[in-house]
Amino acid sequence: MKISIFGSTGPTGRELVNQALEKGYKVSTLVRNPLDIVHANLTVIKGNIFDIEAVKNVIENSDAVISVLGFTPQLFGEKSTDIYSKIASLLVKAMTELNLKKLMFCTSAGVENDPNEIWFYKHILKPLLLQKVYDDMQLAEKIITESSLDWILVRPARMTNGSLTTQFRVSERFRSSGGTAISRADTAFFMLNQVTGNQWVHRTPTLTY
């Protein structure tokens, strides 16, 4: 089983790589900065994530492609991005050309107007700091859902650096009531379980404790 991971040098991506290798998967990844994980089943290619030929070289013959690329807005700095929509468009094009099907793409539980969002988050934090990021996530999801891929749009709640528990709630579109967070480890665990599963294909699993 071979999977390709984009965003492997970030904290969630590292969890994915380590857990995938523990499961015995072959992992390929495209990085700009070095990845300090060495393993016989890990292929690390240095390059530009927006270079379609480099992307195709990484994902060729993959059973699943996973993106956890992300952007962190700054209170007194940049708050907008197009990284989600750009990589979504590129992955759809590259996978279609290579006749690959399974794509797992990580956005966020806040991408829709969630009725279970807490007041401060919904009315203060989201419009002040996060809305432009969510706008690009929405565009990325639109690009992916209009494709012919077997896509899964994974929407974790606020991600933490907590440990792997394997005990969490998964709901369609919106957070489960009272849920505000999920660890990166459990997010990675869920995504890897979808490599061979089809329960969530063409759906938007939302993860929270």
Write the pLDDT tens digit of every residue in 124-154. 667 656 778 889 999 999 999 999 999 999 9
Over residues 15-66, the pLDDT tens digits come to 999 999 999 999 999 998 889 999 999 999 999 999 999 999 999 999 999 9
What is the rounded distance in angstroms from the CA atom of residue 70 to the CA atom of residue 120? Answer: 23
Output the pLDDT for position 123.
65
pTM summary value: 0.91
Burial of 203 (0-12, 13-18, 19+ CB in 10 A): middle
Q: What is the mean pLDDT of residues 68-80?
A: 64
Over residues 157-188, the pLDDT tens digits come to 999 999 999 999 999 998 888 889 999 999 99
Parallel/antiparallel/unpaired status of strands 169-172 and 102-106: unpaired
Output the pLDDT for position 76.
45
% of the chain residues with pLDDT over 90: 77
Domain ranges of the chain: 2-208
User: Is pLDDT larger for residue 50 or for residue 75?
Assistant: 50
Output the pLDDT for position 81.
85
Could you please state the CATH topology (level 3) that the domain comprising 2-208 is classified under: Rossmann fold (3.40.50)
